[in-house]
Amino acid sequence: MKKSIKILITSAAVVIVAAAAIWGLGFVYNRASEPQMIYLYPNTSEEAFADTLRVKLGKTGEKAWTVMSLLGVDLNRRVGAYRIEEGETPINIARRIRNGQQTPVKFTFNNVRTIEQFAERVSDRLMITKDEMLALLRDEKFCEKYGETPATMPAILFPDSYEFYWNVKPDRLIDELASYSKRFWTDERRRKAEALGLTPEEVVTVASIAEEESAKRDERGKIGRLYINRLQRGMPLQADPTVKFAIGDFGIRRITIEMTKYDSPYNTYRYAGLPPGPIRFVEKATIDNILNSEPSDYIYMCAKEDFSGYHNFAASYAEHCANARRYHIELNKRGVK
């Protein structure tokens, strides 16, 4: 009986000492001096994580790790990103990490052409490797889940700013982006697409060509309508950006006749209709610009000879040739090849 009481007293003393240590570590002097992001990777050893806290937070980090050690923590179950705010105490830092209270991180992507570039953006910001992302987007069965193919998957991934936990799984990331796309395609937008004779994916593909054709947002709707006119008349699109995409060189400034012969389903000089999917990730505003574009008779376009970035549009081949002649004269004057 006396032995049991002795054990209880000893245990209570240990608890009291530990609690006192934690109290002192948490509230005396040391607090985070500035915001910091702490990343806890899978299979990180206790020594390595203690070093991370020390390097990022100095004495505050050391004391936070001491508190975590006293409380006990399974690091592999707490993988994630934690933003430490200015003024946070070691005990608060330790408690949040121990409880897995992650901080969402912002994932923004724009001006992306290929899935390779998209995968790089993902790997730069989240705990997903480029290869993991590419494997998923190239998996036909995975794409079928969304009614898409690997070629059309970019049509449901809209550039924007999102928030995710840093350790989000690749499939969960795509689920969230796809659900956002689904909400974007309201019944009204779908009706407008149907009136143009296009599916949502086809509208995005047209929009991707329009974005590559012009950096001027205020004329992308007109460009998209031009290509829809060509589709409706059964004319080949003959869109220069599709040749660049097919060849894989977006730096080409002047498309040659030889380039238009390049064998790829994306080359709209060689193959009729739209390419298999978008040639870049498209802004939502461009989609709306095309859905709301004014009807026109334009079926030809050529960059303006003033190199303003805008285009001359034409409904007849003769007018187009005159526009093209002026532009090519200026190209030759400037030595652009």
What is the pTM (predicted TM-score) of this model? 0.86
Is residue 167 over pLDDT 60? yes
Instruction: Check pLDDT > 50 for residue 137.
Output: yes
For residue 180, how many other CB atoms are within 10 A of its CB?
15
Res 30 pLDDT > 80 = no
Q: Tell me what pLDDT residue 337 has.
A: 63
Q: What is the 3-state secondary structure (H, E, C) of the chain?
A: CHHHHHHHHHHHHHHHHHHHHHHHHHHCCCCCCCCEEEEECCCCCHHHHHHHHHHHHCHHHHHHHHHHHHHCCCHHHCCEEEEECCCCCHHHHHHHHHCCCCCCEEEEECCCCCHHHHHHHHHHHCCCCHHHHHHHHCCHHHHHCCCCCCCCHHHHCCCEEEEECCCCCHHHHHHHHHHHHHHHCCHHHHHHHHHCCCCHHHHHHHHHHHHHHCCCHHHHHHHHHHHHHHHHCCCCCCCHHHHHHHHCCCCCCCCCCCHHHCCCCCCCCCCCCCCCCCCCCCCHHHHHHHHCCCCCCCCEEEECCCCCCCEEEECCHHHHHHHHHHHHHHHHHHCCC
pLDDT of residue 71: 87
Average pLDDT value over all residues in the chain: 91
Q: What is the C-alpha separation between 161 and 232, in angstroms, rounded?
A: 35
For residue 280, pLDDT over 80 is answered with yes
Residue 6 is encoded by which pair of tokens? 């002795």
Residue 57: pLDDT over 50 = yes
- pLDDT for residue 107: 96
pLDDT tier, 331 (very low <50, low <70, confident <90, very high otherwise): confident
Q: What is the pLDDT of residue 4?
A: 52
pLDDT in the model for residue 191: 98
What is the band of 7 on the pLDDT scale with cuts at 50, 70, 90?
very low
Q: Is the pLDDT of residue 29 over 70?
A: no
Q: What is the pLDDT of residues 309-330, one digit of tens each?
A: 999 999 999 999 999 999 988 8
Residue 15 — very low, low, confident or very high, per pLDDT cuts 50/70/90?
very low
Average pLDDT over every residue of 252-262 = 92
pLDDT tops 50 at residue 25: no
Q: Mean of the pLDDT values across residues 282-292?
A: 98
What are the respective helix, strand and coil percentages of the chain, to the nearest 5? 55, 10, 40
Report, as an integer, the average pLDDT of 250-261: 92
Give the residue extent of every domain in the chain.
16-98, 105-184, 187-223+237-293, 297-337
For the cut 60, the answer to whether the pLDDT of residue 154 exceeds it is: yes
Number of alpha carbons in the 13 Å side-chain half-sphere of residue 3: 0
Q: Is the pLDDT reported for residue 132 higher than 60?
A: yes
pLDDT digits (tens, 9 = 90+) for 290-310: 999 999 999 999 999 998 999
Residue 116: pLDDT band with limits 50, 70, 90: very high
Q: What is the mean pLDDT of residues 8-31?
A: 49
pLDDT of residue 14: 46
pLDDT band at 335 (very low <50, low <70, confident <90, very high): confident
Mean of pLDDT values over 76-102: 94
Predicted pLDDT at 253: 84
Q: Tens of pLDDT along 177-223?
A: 999 999 999 999 999 999 999 999 999 999 999 999 999 999 999 99
3 has a pLDDT exceeding 80: no
Query: With pLDDT > 90 as the criterion, what percentage of the chain qualifies?
Result: 82
CATH 3.30.160 fits 297-337, yes or no: yes
